[in-house]
Each structure stands twice: as C-alpha cells, then as structure tokens.
A and B are shown apart, each in its own frame.
Chain A
Amino acid sequence: MKIEALSAEIGGQGILHDVSLEIAPKEWLAVVGGSGAGKSTLLRAVMGLTRPARPTSGHILFNGAQRAFASSAKTTLDGIAYVPQSPAHGFDPLRRLRWQWDQLARRKRAKHTSHQRDILSALGLPDPGGSYPHQWSRGMQQRLLLAMALMDAPKLLILDEPTSALDPLIASQVLQETRRIAAEHEIAVMMVTHDLALAARFAGRIAIMQRGQIVESGVSDILLSNPQHSYSRELVAHRCWDKAKPEISHAAE
C-alpha cells in the first residue's frame, strides 16, 4: 500500500498535511502520535470514510488499484480489514453475534465455512451461536472482531489502538495471536497507537505523527536508537516509565 500526499480538513481547519506512507506486503507498521495528531483521521481516510474530516488531496495505491482520497465515489478497497479501538464500536448490541458474522461473510463473499471455523478456533473462540455481544467478555469480543477482520484473508489489517480498551493480559494475548496469524497468512499490519513502547515491541517500522504530519519514520530499532526529530526524541526518551525511583525523605528513617 502506498499513500501519497494525503491532506484532510474539518471545516477549513487542516488535520492532515501531505501525509505519505508506504507499507510493504507482510510488514508491520506502527503509526505513533499523541492525541490530536491525526492518527484516526488517517485511518478513516484509508478506510474510505470522509467524515468528520474530509480529505482534500492525495491518493492511495493498494494492491494495484488506485483511488483519489478526495473523490466522492464511495469505493472501499478490497483486502483491507479494520479492527476498531473498542469492541463497543464494532458490534451491533441488539443483534446476535452469529447473525453479524454471517452478514459480514455474505458481504465479503467469504468462502468455505470450514475456513471460518478455523479462524475461530485459531483464536480460541467458540462458535458465536445465538449469543449477543454483551454475553461475551471484552477480550473475547475483541478477538471475535479480529476473527471477522481476518475472515476473507485481507492483505492489510488495520488496528486502531488495539490495547487501550483491554487489560494487559488480554491485550498481550490478542496482539500475539494477531502477530502469529499475520505471519501465517502474510498479512501486512498497520497499527495506530500512542504508546511507542508497544509499537517498538511489535512493529518492524514506525512512523511518528505530530500535528497532522509524519515527522519521522524508519525501522523500529534504528528510530529508537537514533531519533532525529525533536518530538521523536521526546517520545523515545519517555517511552518507558521512569525507573529511577526518587528517594522519599522520611525524617525518622
């Protein structure tokens, strides 16, 4: 996938400025930035969503197809799958999970129900059957969303803040399963996160965003050991918690 010169705005105010990105097949790219950096807008633009931020220029090349961001044609690109930040944004709470799964399978024209079952069991999930979203734990819901995203073997998987809604125990489980499946099916992953430590752990390449621009990008190890931009340097310096515990002075100790 290649994004070239993407700009977007909300009501005349620029959100993204000339963002260009490239993801190679099978690559795991993390987009790291603080709140308001434009990470979500970038994802939404890639997914073909034009609200609330409207793309004004740029185009995307994906899997041989090209699409201008600003075009009004509502074309989503085949082969891109998306896992939202919170399972609450991914399911219709009033529909049975099985129904939601089947709807998606029909729309994606996913073949082989046996393959679908394989994905579920690979993620350690039961057949959703007649249950509703609220009957599943958040970790299970998140894994089911992942299974749905992987249903028709996408070329690119997009993860939006995959850990923020989850406890570390479940987050680590979900991400490690994602890593395994992505490697197995040769899926490229684009992960958006505010946590550089997490990005460094999973992504091969990192792009750092600040105020709607990519200020620096590079191979994770190199970027971590030698950040160039001042904002990247700050992120790298603060990527883990201050281990040096300051002395607490107690008069009587």
Chain B
Amino acid sequence: MPPNDPVFQLVGLTVRAGDKVLLQDVSCDIQQGRMLCVIGESGAGKSTLLKAVQGVMPATCRRLVFTPSGTDITGAVPTHSGLPQTRWVMQDPLAALNPQLTLGTSIQESLYRQNLTVQERKSAVLAALEDVELGSEFYSRFPGQVSLGQAQRACLARALIARPKLIFFDEPLSALDALVQKKIARQMEVLRRKTQTAYLVVTHDLGFAEAYADKVLVLRMGQVEAYQPCDEFFATPASPYAENLIEAARSLGTLSHANEAA
C-alpha cells in the first residue's frame, strides 16, 4: 500500500436523530501514520462523528473506505462490529478501565484474539507498558491505585498493543492537568511515529492541534467549518468561525505564538 493513500476515507457522512441533523455531509481522510484533529465546541458533533464511524450510532455515508481490512462501504455505516483494526482511547481513563482488573489484565484483553501463550501475552504487555513509560510494577496494579495520567497511559498501551491501523481518541487529555497532558501528548507522538498508526483525535485544545496534527477538521453545529492542513489552518483559516476560535485560543495563551509574544 503506498503510504500516501489514505488509510481511512470518509465521504459524505450524515447522522440524523429523528428530524434533527447531527452531522451533515462530513468528509475527511487520514493517511497512514498521520494525525487528524477534530475540533469544535460542545455539541458540535465531534463525539457523534466518532460514534458514527465506529458503528455505535446509525449513520449514512456516501462512501467509507478503511484500507487495512478492505472495508469499502456505501450507504449505511455498519453497526455492531464497527471497524476492525481500530481502537479507542476515551476521555476518562478511569471510566474506560475495569476497576476490578489489574492494568496488566486489561491490556491483555486486547490480545485475546491472537493465539498467544500466557507467557507471550505477558511479555507483550510488559513491552507495551514500557512503551508508555510505565514500569513493570504497574502490571499488577488496579486502576484505583494509579494516577489519572498513569491510567491514561495504560489505555494508550492497551490501544497500541493490538497493532491497530487507526486509533480514535476522544478528548484524550482533557481530564489531565497541563503538565501531564504535555508528557502524554509527546508519548502519543513518539509511538505514532514508531508504529505508523493513524490517529483521529477529537479535542478542543487548539494548542495540541497546532503542535501535532497534520490536518484539522473544525465542526460547528454538525457542519464542517474548515478542513485544512494544520499549517494552512493556523495561517489562513477557512472560515470566520475558525478564525475566532484561533483568536480565542491565542488570547488564552494556549497557542505557542501567544506565548512568544507574552
């Protein structure tokens, strides 16, 4: 597969709930190992987009292509199974991890479909923990015994250990404090380069998008406001709304430009 072909391509996704249109004609694609950031205020349809693509929510699309599995769908996005070879990382790691299982067991669950011996599984998990800078002592810890940041790292390890082609992140950093956010963001970036996994990240942090995204998709009330390469987006945003958004982030000091000026 040539690397410039999108690993994931979505054309004309529309989601309705009754008479209400939650998402209107959203198209985007992601290349292997690249990151797309989906930005928008609450209620803009960011999470709806994720849910629709994963088949949790009924949706229609003109075309959805997911290359690794050869999925090429026209019409309704399939429910139940969702897309194979994809993983999720959620906003709240403590809600995403089973509190009664150790981190090691939780991470192992990603491997059950592969025919591995117990020993192989364990060493794979330890390697995954090491990848996210957690020591082997975390293998037997429960989610209640670790910090939020450590729990989110474990979720990242759980997603990556299955070697997916695409990971969906739903506000992966917003539950964490600023310092931990930056450290985990860097970790995500290092692992993305190493494993060439594509990331689709829903966030409202423009600073994060500016630093790491390859492309930015801005949603507002279910409509696409901007869909641009990252540099272009921050230099010449496609819509006045996107411009306001960048202006606001700048005034809060979250964009690096603003910090240089201050």
Which chain A residues have a beta carbon within 8 Å of chain B's beta carbons? 33-36, 138, 163-164, 167-173, 175-176, 194-198, 200-201, 234-235, 238-243, 245-246, 248-253
How many angstroms from the CA of A194 to the CA of B32 in the assembled complex? 34
Say yes or no: is B58 at the interface (Cβ < 8 Å to chain A): no
The answer to whether A241 touches B207, judged by C-beta atoms less than 8 angstroms apart, is: yes
Known: A176-B251, A245-B211, A252-B2. A194 touches B177 (CB 8 A): yes
How many angstroms from the CA of A239 to the CA of B178 in the assembled complex? 8
Number of interface residues of B (CB under 8 A): 46
Which among B148, B189, B210, B248 is the interface contact of A172 at CB below 8 angstroms? B248
In the complex, how many residue pairs between chain A and chain B have their CB atoms under 8 Å apart? 119
Known: A35-B148, A252-B4. A241 touches B211 (CB 8 A): yes
- Smallest Cβ distance from B185 to chain A, in angstroms? 7
Nearest B residue to A244 via CB reads B211
Looking at chain A's contact residues, the main secondary structure is loop
Q: A201-B262, A243-B211 are in contact. List 6 more A-B contacts (CB 8 A).
A: A167-B42, A195-B254, A235-B179, A238-B183, A240-B253, A241-B208
Nearest B residue to A164 via CB reads B174
Residues in chain B near residue A198, CB distance under 8 A: 252-254
Say yes or no: is B16 at the interface (Cβ < 8 Å to chain A): no
The answer to whether B182 touches A248, judged by C-beta atoms less than 8 angstroms apart, is: no
- Smallest Cβ distance from B228 to chain A, in angstroms? 16
Residues in chain A near residue B180, CB distance under 8 A: 34-35
Say yes or no: is B245 at the interface (Cβ < 8 Å to chain A): yes
Nearest B residue to A36 via CB reads B147
Which among A172, A176, A196 is the interface contact of B178 at CB below 8 angstroms? A196
How many angstroms from the CA of A198 to the CA of B210 in the assembled complex? 17
Nearest B residue to A35 via CB reads B177
